[in-house]
A = this chain, B = another copy of it.
Amino acid sequence: METKSTFLKLKQSEREYRRELILDAAVKLFAYKPFAAIGMRDIARQAGISPASIYRYFPSRDAILMEVLDQKIQEGKVRQAKQLQKRNPDLEDVAQGMVDFFMDKDSTLHLLAYFLLKEGIDPDTLHKFQEAKDYFLNHFDEIMVQAGVSQSGVRIFSHAFFSSILGLILVFHSQAGQEKAERRRHLHRLAKLTAAVFSKGLR
């Protein structure tokens, strides 16, 4: 109502806009740079600002990375939801979707692994990670239920299925001595088998 309040709101929203700019820059880098090569100086360059400026908006590198991961996870969820609208959900579709998602976004796989393996993440970031995981696994639960898993045992079932597919991808995404197309084919075969096994298991 008062001029002051409006100005403050404007400032706040501008601040958020700048924050988004930095995040967008980071996300853009993930599309074409290997995860290990993405540092604060790269993000700053991509955003057109100085590295020091980033710290006006984010407390640490990990905080940015976690927000990027969160965004990627939501993106993956949306993609999955769209894909599944067309027909009845099927574990194999889910599995193949995951394979393609990570084969196309190698840096995202590394990002996820980074947080899965890192020790000593600061509490705030860890909490966000937990939330993102839960958010995604909840969605996984829904699909499982639609695919015929009983409500009562769905949580552990979707944990197992999700981790299994992720395991396949981690182990075979960069198998040496094979072309990328061949690796993808092998992963699709493995995903198909695993999905079939889980489908059979729940009947």
Partner of A36 from B119, B126, B163, B190 at Cβ < 8 Å: B119
A201 cross-chain contacts in B, Cβ below 8 A: 196-198, 200-201
A176 touches B36 (CB 8 A): no
A167 interface hit (Cβ, 8 Å): yes
Q: Smallest CB–CB gap between A80 and chain B, Å?
A: 18
List, in ascending order, chain B residues with CB within 8 A of A200's CB: 197, 200-201
Task: Decide: B166 and A170 in contact? CB cutoff 8 A.
Answer: yes
Whether the Cβ atoms of A129 and B196 lie closer than 8 Å is: no
Shortest distance between the CB of A58 and any CB in chain B (Å): 21
A156 contact from B164, B190, B198, Cβ within 8 A: B190
Residues on the B chain within 8 Å of A197, using CB:
160, 197-198, 200-202
Kindly state whether residue A151 has any CB partner on chain B within 8 Å. no
| Chain B residue with Cβ nearest A123 | B176
Asked if A157 is at the interface of the complex by the 8 Å CB criterion, the answer is yes
Contact indicator A157/B119 (Cβ below 8 Å)? no
Bound Cα distance from A193 to B201, whole angstroms? 9
Contacts A126-B176, A201-B196 known; A116 to B170 CB distance under 8 Å?
yes
Q: How large is the interface on A (under 10, 10 to 19, 20 to 34, 35 or more residues)?
A: 35 or more
State whether the Cβ of A165 lies closer than 8 Å to any Cβ in chain B.
yes
B residues less than 8 Å from A116 (CB atoms): 170-171, 174
Residues of B near A176 (CB, < 8 A) are 126-127, 129-130
Q: Is A117 an interface residue (CB 8 A)?
A: yes
A168 within 8 A of B: yes
Name A166's closest neighbour in chain B (CB-CB). Answer: B167
Contact residue among B36, B166, B177, B194 (Cβ-Cβ distance under 8 Å from A160): B194
| A168 close to B157 (CB less than 8 A) | no
Whether A110 is near chain B, meaning CB under 8 Å from some CB there, is yes
State in angstroms the CA–CA spacing of A61 and B64 once bound together.
30
* Chain A stretch 31-45: residues in CB contact (< 8 A) with chain B: 34, 36
